[in-house]
Amino acid sequence: MCVIAGGNQSVCIECSNGKKFYADICIITISLGCLKQHSARLFNPPLPDSKVEAIEHVAMGTVNKIILEFDSQVLPDGIFRLEMVWDYENYDHEEIADRWHKKIGSFEAVADNVLMGE
């Protein structure tokens, strides 16, 4: 995909098969690693230096999600989020296998019987 400004609209999306889509706004959702590596060739005209610098300074890391599915509704009506409170007193002395779950900050109810933790 190549994003090209021009025409009557602000943005033209030109696909590898030659098909073009025009829009006033385009939201790009690609991985940070791909954006860091290929932003110079993805955008025409090129992104402003301030945007390129911002992309270069964003740190990459691991983001894991945990999905828990239950047989029935798990949270009471009106409760949609659980904030986790962990005891970090001996955290540095615990093995990762014993403390990985302490990286989960909260669980969101994505359905009556499904929680997603991050």
Q: What are phi and psi of 58, to 5 degrees?
A: -75, 125
Residues of the chain above pLDDT 90, percent: 31
- pTM score of the predicted model: 0.48
Please tell me the distance from the alpha carbon of residue 18 to that of residue 2, in angstroms, as a whole number: 10
Q: Sign (positive/negative) of CA torsion 72, 76, 81, 86?
A: negative
CA nearest to 69, candidates 107, 117, 115, 118: 115
Domain positions in the chain are: 2-57, 66-117
pLDDT in tens, 53-93: 988 888 877 677 899 999 999 999 999 999 999 888 877 88
Residues paired with residue 3 on neighbouring β-strands, in sequence order = 13, 43
- State residue 95's pLDDT score: 86
- State residue 14's pLDDT score: 85
- State residue 5's pLDDT score: 47
pLDDT in tens, 2-38: 454 444 557 888 888 999 888 888 887 888 888 889 8
pLDDT for 103 beyond 80: yes
CA nearest to 38, candidates 63, 13, 1, 11: 1
**What is the rounded average pLDDT of the residues 41-56?**
87
**What is the rounded average pLDDT of the residues 97-105?**
84
Q: Residue 61: exposed, middle, or buried by beta-carbon count in 10 A (0-12, 13-18, 19+)?
A: exposed
